[in-house]
A = this chain, B = another copy of it.
Amino acid sequence: MQAYTLAKCNQVGYRSSVPYRPFEDQNCSIAGALAIVGERWTLLVLREVLLGRRRFQEIKRNTGVATNILADRLETLVEHGVLERRLYSEQPESYEYVPTPKGRDAIPVLVALMQWGDRHLARDGPPRVLVHTECGHDADPAMHCSHCDEQVGPGTLRVRPGPGAKGHQRDEPLLPATL
């Protein structure tokens, strides 16, 4: 059984027909990280929506994504319940894209990409700084263990097969992993 639906842009044979603009002129650590390890557009589109830029033209302007690719990525994100498309003006008819709880749940992915980019790619310092509004201070969030509450140090996470493990995965030992 297929465990999840595959996004259209990741299906075999899918080819975007339009070249894309490189990420390098965006001066954004998330984009910087994605330029090395990430997908080209989807996470950037999500970044825009989570940063409150929710209209097609705004997202297009801020990412430089081609119209047809943006339309495709937004459709994919709506289809998978990551974004919701909402009418915000009837005359002229205009829509905005709002993150769903599933979309907001992806924030740690973007935060982690941004932190990685900040640490390893931002030669002139972080283009953006996170602020934790609860305490009002700049924050560089770190992962803490949900059991002991301590910060998860390097090399202290391992993986074991979970309830959803299948086939040979079930017999996987606790991996000598740093993940």
Contact = CB atoms under 8 A, between A and B. Distances in A.
A160 B6 contact: no
Say how many copies of this protein the assembly contains: 2
Interface in A125-141: 125-135, 137-141
Contact of A132 (B6, B142, B145, B164): B145
Given A36-B42, A177-B51, A132 B120 contact: no
Nearest to A177: B51
A30 to B, nearest CB: 9
A106 interface: yes
B139 A157 contact: yes
Contact of A164 (B15, B42, B124, B147): B124
Minimum-distance CB pairs A-B, first 7:
A125-B163, A135-B148, A126-B162, A137-B147, A125-B164, A141-B143, A4-B121
B51 A175 contact: yes
